[in-house]
Structure 1
Amino acid sequence: MTDAAPELQIAEEDALRADLYDFLSALLSGPPDKSMLSRAAGLSGDDSALGQAVATMARIARATNEKAVEREFNALFIGLSRGELMPYASYYLTGFLNEKPLAALRGDMAALRITRAPNVYEPEDNIASLLEMMAGMIRGRFGDPVPVARQKDFFFKHIAPWAEHFFSDLEVAQNSVLYAPVGTVGKAFLDIETQAFRMGAE
């Protein structure tokens, strides 16, 4: 996605949310480089479900390397004809790519002034792009920070109906090693977001 405006100062809690959306998006948009692996390896977690998943991911990140993770990413998401998983809303919701969920997303992206970067060729309903969009709405990358009620609408329309299923598949995918706890982190974070939106964004 392209940034349409500089980021603005936001509440610390929202900055942490945006950081995790951005972090997951980066891990799912391409194989992590040495810097990204080091960042993952340096994380620590608490006793919560999310914290335990983060700690597991960090432990595996410390024990792996760029080449191994690149092979893992390619097996999961690229493959010779296709990867083990298809990380697209349209595919999870309809069984096919480029279907109605993508068209609906493009309409909402236009309303939010979100545009696809010129060097990005993946359909916009890729999980990495959707997570990046959430971070951008929180941080005000597309104008003013998007109100929580509108974040909630976007989340429940474009992410909640399928992303937990995707992250569950990622946890148990045959080729998942580092990405197994990434799936757990994603599931735990989505659960937190779902509960927070339901409680506070009526």
Structure 2
Amino acid sequence: MTAAAQSLDVSAEDRLRADLYNYLGLLLARPADQVLLEQTSALAGDQSPIGEAINGLARVAKATKPKSAEREFNALFIGLGRGELLPYASYYLTGFLNEKPLANLRRDMVSLQMTRADNVFEPEDSMASLMEMMGSMIVGRFGAPVSLDQQRTFFNNHVAPWATHFYADLEAAKTSVLYASVGAVGREFMAIEKEAFRMTAD
């Protein structure tokens, strides 16, 4: 089956889910440049909690310059020695980097035919990478779209145990301005995904 044919099998709702996963992954992977800030400022949500969070992110992005986004990103995730937050599953779940959560993720990545990009040097269990993996599985970037059961298993094993905690920390971080709004969107989205997976479980 071609990639185009596979994409037709993905519902509009799932495509939107994948888009939001990928968008969060992009925002967490590197500082937002002018293009991404402009795209973000053009977002519009409804009156639901996640819609309001998206509207808040759009408002902040409109007032944010690339230089300030870069300073904020560096203070949060890089810093002198380390940033305010360490956005890795191993750290959140064990208190240390490169621990069992990373080994478990790498095992599941092999089974799903996912590999780390050659130009990425950080551990695969970063929140940015996990968001990208979820988005990719939904639309079939690594082959055929992954079943809902497989998505649920991956989410429950690698994302759910720490994502809400991480996004709440991002929202509350002392150096967060733009990324506080990213945290709010992520926190609301994780709540929606948790509930949706719970409702569709056998």
TM-score range relative to shorter protein:
over 0.9
User: Partner letter of residue 67 of structure 2?
Assistant: K
Is residue 63 of structure 1 aligned with residue 42 of structure 2? no
Q: Quote the RMSD (CA, aligned, Å).
A: 1.0
How far 1:173 moved relative to its partner?
0.2
User: Partner letter of residue 150 of structure 1?
Assistant: Q
- What fraction of aligned residue pairs are identical, expressed as a percent? 60
Q: Which residue of 2 aligns with 1:77?
A: 77
Is residue 51 of structure 1 aligned with residue 61 of structure 2? no
CA deviation profile, 1:100-158 (whole Å, cap 9, x unmatched): 00000000000000000001001000000000000000010111000000000000000
Distance 2:64 2:194 in 1: 32
User: Partner letter of residue 95 of structure 1?
Assistant: G
How far 1:201 moved relative to its partner?
3.2
Distance 1:108 1:140 in 2: 16
What's the TM-score, normalizing by structure 1?
A: 0.96
Is residue 182 of structure 1 aligned with residue 182 of structure 2? yes
Residues 105 and 158 in structure 1, CA contact (< 8 A), matched pair in contact too: yes
Distance 1:135 1:46 in 2: 22
How far 1:96 moved relative to its partner?
0.2
User: 5+ residue gaps in structure 2?
Assistant: none
CA deviation profile, 1:44-70 (whole Å, cap 9, x unmatched): 111111011100110000011100000
Distance 2:54 2:201 in 1: 27
Q: Which residue of 2 aligns with 1:164?
A: 164
CA deviation profile, 1:3-47 (whole Å, cap 9, x unmatched): xx7762211000000000000000000001111101100011111
Q: Which residue of 1 aligns with 2:143?
A: 143
What's the TM-score, normalizing by structure 2?
A: 0.96
Q: Which residue of 1 aligns with 2:7?
A: 8
Residues 109 and 115 in structure 1, CA contact (< 8 A), matched pair in contact too: yes
Distance 1:163 1:37 in 2: 23
Q: Secondary structure at the match of 2:7?
A: coil
Q: Give structure 1 regions of 4+ aligned residues with deviation exceeding 3 angstroms.
A: none
Aligned length: 198
